[in-house]
Structure 1
């Protein structure tokens, strides 16, 4: 049996004031972020339109992408997410972090739009749908690399974590990302670079500086870089594409493991790496071992007969064995002791 004691009147008033200030701050932050987006996006689009010639970057396999009019609902929902995500913030810190993320990725993307002006090369079939009319009026074929739709979706993905429907919303965000291709608004290069911009933003402005989640974001960013390289590799080398895809899958699973702090993603409860896992994660294990060789440190005695260090070499193991009975505690998630 629990007893809930009422809060003092002063504290209740303070909570009410803070909550009211937070609600007002959400509107202010939304207006500021929307203003930055409108100014940057409009200026970059006007600049690209003023150029005599703007090229496109499209890969041959993209010609097989179908035009799916229904996907316009997912594409247009980005506006709803842009507004709603501010009101999912429960604290001033969350609101501040979200605002910094949106302003940063907007300015970063705007700089890229000006330095690398590109345009959509596919001709969208005629359709009388009102949402397509809205896109044709207010959106432009410019401002392609990186896709702000994708960059914002990465931020929205993190922002909806406070919602009870976050799994459903994240499925919708996946469809939103795909819709950028299906409504002929972006090319593949825009998607992968948008992911790069999104993960970079999440890494620079985390909600909480948790080491494992920061490392996970780095792995996701590198995977997005690999996806960009894969687009070019597909055009020239099938074998190279397979190896790149292998590395990308490894990076994605590593990021997932670190994000969930899963220490058993590679080794079992006995500290051993299974044969199939060893083969699949071989690129990661090989790089990890190489880095370990250059950063190997001798065991340090932190208390009488208690040492902390890296993976034991054969020489160190024989040295410790001479001391008598030795117990080794394996704290590494990557290398078996």
Structure 2
């Protein structure tokens, strides 16, 4: 027992439990109190739920989640898995309670009288719980997280069967104890899957830390398309009601895909190096993955499974197991971020890349092992991805060599060392950045300033005029934000749920709109000064921005070209217009629902 405690971070686990326990009861109680202060709290239930039996004895599996919750931190083998597990539980609590505050719901029919042993547990439950805090069910979300946590410690099949049965009993007990409606179960499961996706237990970067805002305009266009698709599915789900509410699943899936293109990148699909996706990501992206698989088959129908682009290298869609066997069991390198490598393909590797965008240089930097031949050109890989076909390359080995589909230099290939700029010899100053090169290389001189010509000044003047015209759009966005904040401040408690959520979305988007408006106002002033000649050159502008801390100070770096600056400003203007359009749509939705209510 002493060795068991010494091998596990039990003190840190006790600290996590000391934080999670009080935080749960505090936030859960505050959400219950908030619902009681509302003038009207709606309910969402199906007619068939009246036929669900009330089984008092199921309160026992309902309560067992508290025991498994309290024990779970002490089973962690290291600090990494403990922190990820604690982050999952913390995220589920905060997200669920935020939903309870933003969209409060209540249970529409009361519980009958209970006698015997279950009566004590029901009385204890009613001591801190009230018929609110419905969707998403925090009970279901925690059950999903705990099930994924405990299954890593259980190996025997009979024990795994008991674990699955226990998890099913907990999820079913929320209905048979008349604590939740059915809509709370899929939404709670979705919340649990999102928390597992956000904080994987493997030693990989977590999703919050993987966020890097995309700079490629193509990625932003695709993100906007997927976001519009998610809004369309969500609108159809809310408009249709009933079984149409299942369209919220594709809406959530497309929303996550939009986030992947906007910032998470290919890591958001959580595909490992062997082409297998995490189970939570498989369920979250299931509607999108189904559409992607059908799209790949439709685009490649009537075409051969693969085509030889260079001798020994075949490029095509992901093969079926039968196609892979018929091809002679070649080595498979998949470039798909959303489609898994078929089972049974031994030796397969995966370099996940986003579809329809130019792959980043960082995704091409890995070097395969035991490659001794020439490799495919970079354009062959990116061209397949741009055609929306499955991005898989299948090399066929030739006698005496092993070819690879990775567009990088093979192992053993060495780049020629560059000649020294000061002495003309290859190795006199060593590698760039080495101590020897720092001693021998001459000091870097600041770049020469080039004055702007008439064409450059005309471009700056035209762009400044466009930004001045866009000030009307910024004023409109600010007005929407101010009106929404004023309405929420004056009539929040008496406002129905849907208008309050819409006005809240307008106010939240207003923060992002103000940031874009500030950036555009700064760019307008800078372009006006460049057009008038108040700023002599782009180099002088970069030096001034570096002194203010708005640009990385590097004396040897060249000035950013004017074409890049104008393109960045136009992209910023487009994003600002998208945010204002979303504000206008949410504001119109709030007005329409307010009239209906």
How would you bin the TM-score normalised by the shorter chain?
0.5 to 0.7
Are residue 306 (structure 1) and residue 312 (structure 2) matched?
A: yes
Distance 1:300 1:113, change over 3 A: farther
The aligned residue for residue 150 of structure 2 is 160
Q: CA RMSD in A?
A: 4.0
The aligned residue for residue 74 of structure 1 is 61
Are residue 51 (structure 1) and residue 32 (structure 2) matched?
A: no
Q: Name which of 121, 125, 130 aligns with 1:135.
A: 125
Are residue 42 (structure 1) and residue 42 (structure 2) matched?
A: no
Alpha-carbon displacement from aligned partner over 1:237-274 (angstroms, at most 9, x marks no partner)? 8xx99xx9xxxxxxxxxxxx9558xxxxxxxxxxxxxx
Are residue 185 (structure 1) and residue 179 (structure 2) matched?
A: yes
The aligned residue for residue 106 of structure 1 is 93
Contact in 2 for aligned 1:118/1:142 (Cα 8 Å): yes
The aligned residue for residue 206 of structure 1 is 200
* Distance of 1:190 and 1:143 partners within structure 2: 10
Indicate the structure with greater helix content: 1
SS in 1 for 2:94: helix
* Distance of 1:204 and 1:181 partners within structure 2: 28
SS in 2 for 1:309: strand
Contact in 2 for aligned 1:160/1:166 (Cα 8 Å): no
How far apart are 1:206 and its partner, in Å? 0.6
Alpha-carbon displacement from aligned partner over 1:217-254 (angstroms, at most 9, x marks no partner)? xxxxxxxxx9xx999979468xx99xx9xxxxxxxxxx
How far apart are 1:287 and its partner, in Å? 3.8
How far apart are 1:179 and its partner, in Å? 0.2
Alpha-carbon displacement from aligned partner over 1:99-128 (angstroms, at most 9, x marks no partner)? 100111111111100111001112111013
| TM-score, normalised with respect to structure 2 | 0.38
Are residue 24 (structure 1) and residue 14 (structure 2) matched?
A: no
Distance 1:60 1:30, change over 3 A: same
SS in 1 for 2:16: helix
The aligned residue for residue 151 of structure 1 is 141
* Distance of 1:31 and 1:292 partners within structure 2: 56
SS in 1 for 2:313: strand
The aligned residue for residue 50 of structure 2 is 63
Q: Name which of 271, 286, 289 aligns with 2:294.
A: 286
* Distance of 1:111 and 1:64 partners within structure 2: 31
Contact in 2 for aligned 1:189/1:231 (Cα 8 Å): no
Contact in 2 for aligned 1:106/1:148 (Cα 8 Å): yes
Matched ranges for 1:167-182 at <5 A: 167-182=161-176
Contact in 2 for aligned 1:88/1:163 (Cα 8 Å): no
The aligned residue for residue 319 of structure 1 is none
How far apart are 1:166 and its partner, in Å? 4.2
Alpha-carbon displacement from aligned partner over 1:140-182 (angstroms, at most 9, x marks no partner)? 1111110000000011011112146443123111100000000
How far apart are 1:288 and its partner, in Å? 4.0
The aligned residue for residue 252 of structure 1 is none
How far apart are 1:132 and its partner, in Å? 0.8
* Distance of 1:38 and 1:299 partners within structure 2: 62
Contact in 2 for aligned 1:150/1:195 (Cα 8 Å): yes
The aligned residue for residue 191 of structure 2 is 197
Distance 1:203 1:193, change over 3 A: same
| TM-score, normalised with respect to structure 1 | 0.65
SS in 1 for 2:183: helix
Distance 1:194 1:93, change over 3 A: same
How far apart are 1:333 and its partner, in Å? 2.3
Aligned length: 256
How far apart are 1:35 and its partner, in Å? 2.0
How far apart are 1:73 and its partner, in Å? 0.4
* Distance of 1:37 and 1:169 partners within structure 2: 24
* Distance of 2:45 and 2:25 partners within structure 1: 27
The aligned residue for residue 478 of structure 2 is none
With a CA cutoff of 8 Å and minimum separation of 6, indicate the structure with the bigger relative contact order.
1
Distance 1:290 1:18, change over 3 A: farther
The aligned residue for residue 323 of structure 1 is none
Q: Name which of 70, 81, 103 aligns with 1:83.
A: 70
The aligned residue for residue 10 of structure 1 is none
Alpha-carbon displacement from aligned partner over 1:266-289 (angstroms, at most 9, x marks no partner)? xxxxxxxxxxxxxxx997752442
* Distance of 1:231 and 1:66 partners within structure 2: 28
How far apart are 1:138 and its partner, in Å? 1.7
SS in 2 for 1:75: helix
Gaps of 5+ in 1: 1-12, 212-225, 245-256, 261-280, 313-325
